[in-house]
Structure 1
Amino acid sequence: MDNRQAIGSWISGPRAAAEGMGVDFGYRGERLGLPREGPGSVAGIGRRFGAIFIDWALCVLIGYGLLSGGDLRSANNWALVVFALLSLTTVGTLGFTPGKRLLGLRVIAEDGSRLGAPWAALRTLLLVLVVPALVWDRDGRGLHDRLSRAVQVRI
């Protein structure tokens, strides 16, 4: 291996280097028995960020307009509370938040059933902490989804 190959593998990351050596990781969701694409496949990162942006904007509007009394500083604190309640109630019952529904996403259990209330509560708690949502596995699931045995799929 010459220096260019060594530097190239370092820049592209360990996954690309392993794939260059012939390791097959499969597609996102294959280990979970989900299809490669279409309905039921693991949701892409762009849609998931879009959905959380929509949900957060909705919660900020509610926090600012109804709960903060016009105080912009406390609006984000209220928005976090509203976001947690929104996520807990809608994901625990319907399987999606308003943002997820608008972008065609649903949160399900790993076995394909509806995510139960205790798992939805754990998922919400970890999502509010933010950091677990930023750590992903090779299926594209955040740590908050993995620990709560959930997966976000396209509908």
Structure 2
Amino acid sequence: MVDRRDIGSWLEGPPKSNKQNWPGERLGRPESGKGSVARVGRRLIGLVIDWAIAILISRLAFGDAQWATLTVFAVEQFLLVGTLGYGIGHRIVGIRIVRLDGSWAGPLRAIVRTVLLCLVIPAVVWDADQRGVHDKAAGTIAVRI
């Protein structure tokens, strides 16, 4: 015979112990401070700064060429994230791009992340840990420094 406790378990949803209290908790990241997941607002400000820098450089170097801004942005992201772990905007707002274990992202992950970031759609779709599709595909995460 079916007991009420058997039915109630699936009606109540997943066990409370699996509940995530903050972005990055299940990845072993602290709730706040150094090493915590960089929130969307901080990342968006960094992106706007990087895009503004790309516009400035492309206008000065290439004039009104439509392809120039995206190219400058992509080169900046690839070179700086691949070598330093952050773009200029990231650095200003205090975030770094790292692997899930906290080590350096490296050039291969930086190129995957940059290509997907330039496609825009992956960057605006994120999970409970606030990792965009571009970060998930590259195996990276944006953390506070």
TM range (shorter): 0.7 to 0.9
CA distance in 1, matches of 2:106, 2:88: 19
In the alignment, the residues of structure 1 paired with residue 20 and residue 31 of structure 2 have an alpha-carbon distance, to the nearest angstrom, of 13
Looking at structure 1, the residues matched to 42 and 22 of structure 2 have their Cα atoms a distance apart, in angstroms, of 18
Query: Where does the alignment leave 5 or more consecutive residues of structure 2 unmatched?
Result: 1-12
Aligned residue pair count = 132
Query: Within the alignment, does 1:44 sit opposite 2:39 as a pair?
Result: yes
Q: 1:116 and 1:58 mapped to 2: Cα distance?
A: 23
Over the matched positions of the two proteins, sequence identity in percent amounts to 44
Question: Could you tell me how far 1:26 is from its partner in structure 2?
Answer: 2.6
- The TM-score, its normalising length taken from structure 2, stands at 0.86
Specify the code of the residue in structure 2 equivalent to 1:154.
R
* Alignment counterpart, residue 138 of structure 1, candidates 105, 128, 141: 128
Q: TM-score, normalised by structure 1?
A: 0.80
2:25 corresponds to which of 30, 35, 39: 30
Counterpart in 1 of 2:116? Answer: 126
What pairs up with 1:53-132 in 2 under 5 angstroms? Answer: 53-68=48-63, 71=64, 74=65, 76-132=66-122
Residue 28 of structure 1: CA displacement?
0.5
1:152 aligns with 2:142: yes
Q: Which amino acid aligns with 1:62?
A: I
Residue type of the partner of 1:61?
L
Aligned partners of 1:153, 1:25: CA distance in 2, in Å? 18
After superposition, give the CA deviation of every residue in 1:95-119 in whole Å (9 maximum; x if it has no partner). Answer: 0000000110100001110002111
- Inter-partner Cα distance in structure 2 for 1:85 and 1:122: 12
CA-to-partner distance for each residue in 1:3-55, whole Å, 9 max, x for gaps? xxxxxxxxxxxxxxx79x96723310011111110010000111100000000
Using the alignment, how far apart are the partners of 2:27 and 2:110 within structure 1?
19
Q: CA deviation at 1:65?
A: 1.0
Whichever residue aligns with residue 103 of structure 1, its letter is V
TM-fit CA distance, 1:148: 0.4
Runs of 4+ in 1 over 3 A off after TM superposition: none
Partner AA of 2:34 in structure 1: P
